[in-house]
Amino acid sequence: MAVRLIALYAPPEDPAAFDTHYRDTHAPIVRRYPGLRDLRLTRADGVAGRPPAFYLMAEMAFDSRADLDAALASDAGIESGRDLRNFAGAGVTLLVADDQSGL
């Protein structure tokens, strides 16, 4: 995968409600992104006994940065952004990782 949009979700107050909303509502919107090649969801754990800074990492893969930007500007992209307020009140950090631009 060439370019990933990575969403890092802060630990929610109600993990069970978060999981249900993500699985049943948010993920289906994300899967409608045009050009989406892969959606990988990963639980985050802490290191050395410390709690993790993030609860869930969602990695959305695209062929190019242009495809990623087009997905975010699409109807599904706008809908997913609006849906964040329904479950991600604890915060979400978004990053773009261009795997072709490594150190």
Q: Which residues bind its own copies (CB under 8 A)?
A: 5-6, 8, 19, 22-23, 27, 40-48, 52-54, 56-57, 65, 72, 93-99, 101-103
How many Å apart are CA 95 and CA 51, to the nearest integer?
21
Q: How far is the CB of 63 from its own copies (least distance, A)?
A: 16
Least Cβ distance, residue 17 to its own copies (angstroms): 13
CA distance 83 to 77: 10
Least separation in angstroms between residue 48's CB and its own copies is 7
